[in-house]
Structure 1
Amino acid sequence: MTSIRRKDYFNMTNAILVVLFVVFLVETFMGGSENTTVLYKMGAMYNPLVAIKHQFWRLFTAQFLHIGILHIASNAIIILYLGRMMEPFMGSWRFLALYLLSGIGGNLMSFAFGSDLALSAGASTALFGLLGALTTLLFTSDRRLATGYAGRQALSLAVLNIVIDLFISEIDIWGHVGGFITGFCLMSLITTQYHGLYRRTFKILSAIGIVVYVIVTLRLGMRINF
């Protein structure tokens, strides 16, 4: 019983949340999470630095930074909810890979289509990747079952949030869209729920989609439009 409790407690979802809050504390001690200088130094997304200075590491680091306590609190709650649902059936390392790569994928879309004057950060790119991954359940499960319902809920939540994003200029909508697309394609690659030719075809299309996505977003992102 003790080992089971330890496994439940020390999971990857909790580890991700610990890292996010530790990074937030570092931001705070360095001058504040809303201080642009601090965000620049710690690796927030700023397209000109990625394109001109080739600081591609920002595509990875930006997902660990947050701007204000409400920003990290809202993301943490949803990550905790989705993580506790997804990690048990995916496995910890697959869940971590999905989370991190979705964050990068979201920042790639922001790099390609986002404002070149904006500074962006946050785990919502990875969070939308989790929603995209759950949406694949619509294609792998009977929609009348609980898994199919989870897929519908994930898609509805993602669409609702993206619609809301349209009316809030401070939100990086492209990062959210990119995270969702990346999560959907990645989950299509790693899932074992497809069958026969359909499974092989879907995986091939997903792999091609990811490669094309990375190439196109990088090429578009290298153009700076002030």
Structure 2
Amino acid sequence: MHNFMREAKQQPVTIGLCLLLVGIYIAEVVVSGGLTIGLSTLYDFGGLVTVGVGVDGEWWRLLTAGFIHASLMHILMNTVVIYFIGKILETTLGSIQLATIFILGVLGGSLLSITLGSLNVIYIGASSGAFAMVGAVIYLGLQEKRRGAWVQQMQTMLIFVAMNLLFSLFDPTIGIWGHVGGFIVGLAVTGNLLQSRYAKMTFKNTTMTRIIALLMIITVFLILLTGAFTRLTTFS
């Protein structure tokens, strides 16, 4: 208990996010009546459906979908990834920075899912936010001034990404576009989140790299928004 309280104090966003995800899943289980959540419950809790956004204008689903899970294995996998990577990033970059990466990653994953994904699927899960964290770690590995621990972390994350892409070829239930969207956002946004003393000492953080990073994230979201709006106009 003492260790948990210490972690909650040192990494409040990571611990708080994990607790929130688990709490929402428990509520889903209560409503749905089982560990595997029904489609109607997923939708009622805020799952993302392309037609629902296009016809009903329920844009809030772009964010809420990232906090909902369909099964015990689903919530366990995402929570474990967020817990371990989140602790590293929150300690390195800061709490606000980690929250920014996660939220923008969820939005980016939702927008790309709307643009390129199936129309008849409910998109759910925190994996887009988790993949934004993975993208952030890879960016930090690329920007490390002296090759060391972060390059090793980057290599581990690249293996994780490759395995996920391989699994997605055989498992149609994996929302690959959400993962890709979150990953791209994580790569693009992290360059402007290097405010901590440790980050400034460890990673390349010139004015030019910050400008490039800012242009990257603006460009990414312009493309994502344009793609989503273009597809959604088919319902209007």
Q: TM-score, normalised by structure 1?
A: 0.90
The alpha carbon displacement at 1:153 in A equals 1.8
Q: CA RMSD in A?
A: 2.1
Q: Greater shift after overlay, 133-142 or 105-114?
A: 133-142
Structure 1 residues 11-58: Cα deviation after superposition (integer angstroms, max 9, x where no partner): 211100110011011111111452111111111011100111111111
Matched, 1:206 2:205: no
Match for 1:13: what amino acid?
Answer: T
The answer for the alignment partner of 1:215 in structure 2 is 225
> Is the 2:32–2:38 contact (alpha carbons within 8 Å) kept by the matching residues of 1?
yes
The answer for the alignment partner of 2:7 in structure 1 is 8
Partner Cα distance (1:131, 1:117) in 2: 28
Match for 2:24: what amino acid?
Answer: V
The answer for the alignment partner of 1:17 in structure 2 is 18
Partner Cα distance (1:195, 1:28) in 2: 45
Alignment partner of 2:229: what SS? Answer: helix
Match of residue 175, structure 1, among 173, 178, 187: 178
Question: Taking every aligned residue pair, what percent have the same amino acid on both sides?
Answer: 26
Q: How many residues align?
A: 223
Q: 1:202 to 1:69 in 2, by over 3 A?
A: same
Match for 2:21: what amino acid?
Answer: L
Q: 1:121 to 1:143 in 2, by over 3 A?
A: farther
The alpha carbon displacement at 1:205 in A equals 2.9
Alignment partner of 1:52: what SS? Answer: helix
The alpha carbon displacement at 1:164 in A equals 1.6
Structure 1 residue ranges without an equivalent (≥5): none
The answer for the alignment partner of 2:128 in structure 1 is 125
Partner Cα distance (1:68, 1:31) in 2: 11
The alpha carbon displacement at 1:167 in A equals 1.7
The answer for the alignment partner of 2:197 in structure 1 is none
Structure 2 residue ranges without an equivalent (≥5): 195-199
Partner Cα distance (1:15, 1:149) in 2: 27
> Is the 2:105–2:129 contact (alpha carbons within 8 Å) kept by the matching residues of 1?
yes
Structure 1 residues 65-105: Cα deviation after superposition (integer angstroms, max 9, x where no partner): 00010110111111111011111111111111211111111
Matched, 1:165 2:168: yes
Matched, 1:140 2:140: no
Partner Cα distance (2:46, 2:103) in 1: 15
Alignment partner of 2:56: what SS? Answer: coil
Q: 1:121 to 1:142 in 2, by over 3 A?
A: same
